Amino acid sequence: MADEVNQESSTPAPRPQGPRPDRGPGGREGGRKFFRRKKVCKFCVEKIDDINYKDFRLLQQFVAERGKIVPRRLTGVCTPHQRRLTTAIKRARNIALLPFAAR
C-alpha cells in the first residue's frame, strides 16, 4: 500500500496543452512595454566633418576601459563616421596619445 502512494506522488503532473497564456508585450504580466530610444550619431548631430586623431579627449569616449574600440551598435555612431573614428583612434595609438591596452 505504501509503495502505491509513493509511485503516485513521484509522477509529474501533466502539462496543459495549447497556447501559452498571453503575457502582453514585453513578456511580463502587467508590465510596461520596454522602449529603447534610437541612437543617433554624435558626429552627424554636431556636424563634425573630420575626426582629428590629435583630439584624444573626443576619441577617449569611443575607447573602452580595456583599450578596445567600442562598436557602433553600442555608441550609435553611423557607419562612415565609425570608419573615420577607427582610423583616428589607430593613428592616435601609434603616436602614444591613446593606449593600446589597459594598464
| Tens digits of pLDDT across the chain (103 residues) | 565 555 556 667 777 676 666 555 555 566 677 777 888 899 999 998 889 999 999 999 999 999 999 999 999 999 999 999 999 999 999 999 999 987 7
> What is the reported pTM?
0.64
**Greatest CA separation for the chain:** 85
Domains along the sequence of the chain with CATH:
35-103 (4.10.640.10)
pLDDT of residue 22: 59
d(CA 20, CA 43): 46
pLDDT of residue 7: 58
H/E segment holding residue 2 = helix 2-10
Q: What share of the chain is helix, strand, coil (3-state, %, to 5)?
A: 35, 0, 60
